[in-house]
Structure 1
Amino acid sequence: MNWEQLLSLKRFGDTNKRLRQEQDETRLGFEVDYDRVIFSSEFRSLQDKTQVIPLSQTDFVHTRLTHSLEVSVVGRSLGRKVGQKVLEKHPHLQKVHGYLPNDFGAIVASAALAHDIGNPPFGHSGEKAIGEFFKSGKGKLYKANLLDKEYQDLCDFEGNANGFKIVTQSRAGREGGLRLSYATLGAFTKYPKESLPKKPTKNIADKKYGFFQSEKEAFQDLAKELGLKKTGDGQHISYARHPLAFLVEAADDICYTIIDFEDGINLGLIEEEYALEYLINLVRHSINTKKYHQLTNTKDRVSYLRALAINTLINEAVEIFMKNEELILEGKFNISLLDKSQYEAQINDIIKLSIEKVYQSKEVIDKEIAGYQVLNTLLEIYTKAVNNSYQGVASNYDTLILKGLPAILDLNSDSLYQRLLNVCHYVSLLSDSQAIIQYKKIRGFSF
């Protein structure tokens, strides 16, 4: 792979090549990507979607929106620092093509901003709830009429693939979705493969999948333009990652490791004495002891250590990326950047404590149980109504249900897969609160 192709400014529908040196510096294409994501309705709905604590009423616990904004900030720093070093190593990118360090930062920031845009309500348990409806719930009856990869898309409903659908799918008046640059779309796709085969290798890029069968052609067009290295066997589509996808992943890893931990401390789920010790182990070489001891409350102490930890891990990720840049461009770097970090043990200690004290806390588990019931009910009612209508046997109740669904939703496709996926896609776009409101209506609790 080569940087000239990987930094493509092309957008869906372009007939002429976009050249970097011809860009308006006050309205750079990669920065337009950021604007298009942040003004999208799908991004705004993240303000009411779970990050760690579902439906939290506190003002300091992160939602998917605040998490995404923070990941984009970290991603921008990672991109700029790597961009500066890449341009020093490959000076023709700047001298001949006009690329600047901030271009890398803008690409990573935009992709990072959108990285959770496809996540359904109730966090990762929402993905599992949708998948289990088809794998072991009432949606299993559709299996016989679906291709293997279509059924797998539904059984392992993936927020990353759903995000790719959101940013690329066309509809009337919105051809090409958000029309992001191909460079940003490449950096966005952490798992450039289809749903089958499942985890064919231990390569980090094969851990999940990045696009549904409905967007397969769109992704192949993207991969061709960017010059991504093919890793599939011909029967199955998979590619090596876009190099900047490693930075998007690192930004996400840094934020959820440190900031979810911070949420747990502020909620009182993690005891301060343990928490501070874990963070200090990560920043021991950069902490200003005098300044630290001047801080008089937990929130300020944790905030100070959090800032140091994020800065430490940013610099570490940049160093690892540049040490392995050639392997990354060859598609031979198979782990996440932080898996090679000298702080891996400290990171794992923090994640282990977060899992025990935060992710598996009673509050989280209780809300996830409720989320399963909500999503299972919505999927059962909506899929039944849509397919009964298509087959011409809709009941009055089915007709009423369909009237409550948005007109832009294509529920009359001749493809069963498309009808089912479109229902899942609609449900995934609901915020936590919207999903609960829909559930209450169906259960007759709206009066």
Structure 2
Amino acid sequence: MKYGTIISTERLRPTTTIREHDLTTETESDKARVLFSAPFRRLQKKAQVFPLESNAAVRSRLTHSLEVAAVGRQIAQKIAKELVHRTEIADSDPLVNIVECACLLHDIGNPPFGHFGEAAISSWFKNNGAESKSFELHRKNFTPYYLDFENFDGNAQGLRIITKLQGEDQYGLNLTCSTIAAYLKYPHSESTREAGKNNFHKKPGYFLTEDDSIKATWDKLEIPHHVRSPLTFIMEAADDIAYCLSDIEDGIEKNIITLDQVLIEIGNALDSDAQIHWQEMVLKAEQYKNIINKFIYIRTNLINRATTIAKESFIENSAAIFSGNFHETLITKSSLEYKILKAARGFVALKVYTSREAEVIELSGNSIITGLLDKLSPLLELDTESFQIVLNKDTDGIKENGLQIHSRLINLLPSQCKKSYKHEASIKPDMEWIYRVHLIIDYLSGMTDDFALEMYQKLMGIRTT
């Protein structure tokens, strides 16, 4: 791999827009396509930690994504400045734009209620695959594809959104291949990943239904199959730096934790060198009287130091990164900042994510996702012929076959999702049921937290308006 190929104007479909096709313009276009897309806007109603949150000061997936993009841009600018100085790249803007766009996209596939939503979808398919004769048969016939549902992940759904579900044709947002590759944090599907091998195999990064798209992306950029784009490391580092610090601030905002508790418990979790470093920052933060301003000083200090470490690590490990032999985070594990961030993540996991307020809503989210799938599942129990009767609104066929409920259910599904289903099923009709499942999951994953709750209440008969 080299910069001249991984930073490219190539798209899966050549753009039809009339303009100069230079790198800066094309990568700026990617960012605009994301910012103006409905899935990105819907992130404002999806939880970062606290679902159905009424306090606008507490982060949503949208505000979190914007913060990650700001951190990613900061790292990328530092790296690009060094690369321009070394004449390894001619212009810093395309590299920075690609990283920023990948950061904006990194959570776009999250279903309602975040990781609990992912777990609920996975659990539902595991249970139905074991208990339903119809599902058991499909699981047997399409095992690799069915495993994508049993191990559902928002990263894979995100790739599906940006490459298929938006736009006027089957290419979705039709982003540059450089941005698509930079987004792909886990370069394996469920059927090719090896759990425990390294960080890249931790989760599936794409569904088998997107296998052709991602392989075409790698080929256009001359990236070996199942190897990360070097720019993905920058996006990953930005998320690692941003999320735990932001979650602490939200915990303080919601009075779940106190700043004193944060300062003491993180300090206690550090070794002696990191503890001295931490105490120096805490002491300097005392110049601020406001609690949030004190934490903002600490957060800003950590971000600035951590982004510099990420830049230095990327430059120092470039050979291994570009050969596909680097499997670590850019935040060097021996650094004081890594130790502090690790302690912060441990604190957040223990004190914020397990707070009663967060857990009760997450349990509700599990019930909502499971309930929605239960209510939509009759569409998955139909044979192909019956489903086509419902999909095509064949009123006589619906009446003759008693499909009135099914016809109401399919009317709930967005036209864009149906369009993608029809295109995929027309190309591979033998895979129709798998694409039908994706149709249901595309609808469910696109829901915001509050819309999922509302739809659940309506389908359960709890509310009618």
> TM-score by structure 2 length?
0.86
Q: 1:133 touches 1:139 (CA, 8 Å); kept in 2?
A: no
> In the alignment, which residue of structure 1 is the partner of 2:205?
210
Amino acid at match of 1:325: S
Matches within 5 A, 1:118-129: 118-129=109-120
Aligned CA distance change for structure 1 residues 441 and 287 (closer, same or farther; 3 Å): same
Q: 1:298 aligns with which of 291, 294, 316?
A: 291
Q: 1:83 touches 1:103 (CA, 8 Å); kept in 2?
A: no
Q: 2:9 touches 2:23 (CA, 8 Å); kept in 1?
A: no
> In the alignment, which residue of structure 2 is the partner of 1:233?
none
Q: CA deviation digits over 1:105-141, x for unaligned, max 9?
A: 1110001001110000001111111111001247853
Aligned CA distance change for structure 1 residues 77 and 409 (closer, same or farther; 3 Å): same
Q: Secondary structure at the match of 2:203?
A: coil
> In the alignment, which residue of structure 2 is the partner of 1:3?
3
Distance 1:57 1:153 in 2: 34
Q: 1:388 touches 1:394 (CA, 8 Å); kept in 2?
A: no
Matched, 1:311 2:298: no
> In the alignment, which residue of structure 2 is the partner of 1:243?
230
Distance 2:341 2:85 in 1: 31
Give the structure with the higher percent helix.
2
Q: 2:167 touches 2:173 (CA, 8 Å); kept in 1?
A: no
Unaligned runs of 5+ in 1: 95-99, 231-238
Aligned CA distance change for structure 1 residues 117 and 34 (closer, same or farther; 3 Å): same
Distance 1:8 1:140 in 2: 48
Q: 1:86 aligns with which of 80, 83, 88?
A: 83
Q: 1:41 aligns with which of 38, 47, 56?
A: 38
Distance 2:402 2:44 in 1: 35
1:169 positional shift: 0.8
Q: 2:60 aligns with which of 59, 63, 83?
A: 63
Q: 1:356 aligns with which of 350, 353, 362?
A: 350
Q: Secondary structure at the match of 1:359?
A: coil
Aligned CA distance change for structure 1 residues 174 and 15 (closer, same or farther; 3 Å): closer
Amino acid at match of 1:328: I
Q: 1:378 aligns with which of 355, 372, 375?
A: 372
1:276 positional shift: 3.0
> In the alignment, which residue of structure 2 is the partner of 1:409?
417
Distance 1:380 1:139 in 2: 15
> In the alignment, which residue of structure 2 is the partner of 1:105?
96
Matched, 1:145 2:142: no
Q: 1:79 touches 1:102 (CA, 8 Å); kept in 2?
A: no
Distance 1:116 1:36 in 2: 16
Aligned CA distance change for structure 1 residues 409 and 390 (closer, same or farther; 3 Å): farther
Aligned CA distance change for structure 1 residues 112 and 394 (closer, same or farther; 3 Å): farther
Distance 1:281 1:421 in 2: 49
Q: CA deviation digits over 1:41-96, x for unaligned, max 9?
A: 0001100001011111112211000000111111111111111223334x2531xx
1:156 positional shift: 0.8
Aligned CA distance change for structure 1 residues 382 and 429 (closer, same or farther; 3 Å): same
1:348 positional shift: 1.7
Distance 1:262 1:282 in 2: 22
Matched, 1:116 2:107: yes
The percentage of counterpart residues that share the same residue type is 31
1:15 positional shift: 8.5
Q: What is the number of residues matched between the two proteins?
A: 428
1:354 positional shift: 0.4
Distance 2:183 2:175 in 1: 10
Q: CA deviation digits over 1:383-404, x for unaligned, max 9?
A: 3135437442553222222222
> In the alignment, which residue of structure 2 is the partner of 1:23?
22
> In the alignment, which residue of structure 2 is the partner of 1:347?
341
Unaligned runs of 5+ in 2: 268-273, 387-400
Aligned CA distance change for structure 1 residues 441 and 9 (closer, same or farther; 3 Å): same
Q: 2:405 aligns with which of 394, 397, 402?
A: 397
Q: Secondary structure at the match of 2:197?
A: coil
> In the alignment, which residue of structure 1 is the partner of 2:124?
133
**Root-mean-square deviation (CA), in Å?**
2.6
Q: 2:9 touches 2:22 (CA, 8 Å); kept in 1?
A: no
Q: 1:71 touches 1:112 (CA, 8 Å); kept in 2?
A: yes
Matched, 1:179 2:178: no
> In the alignment, which residue of structure 2 is the partner of 1:275?
262
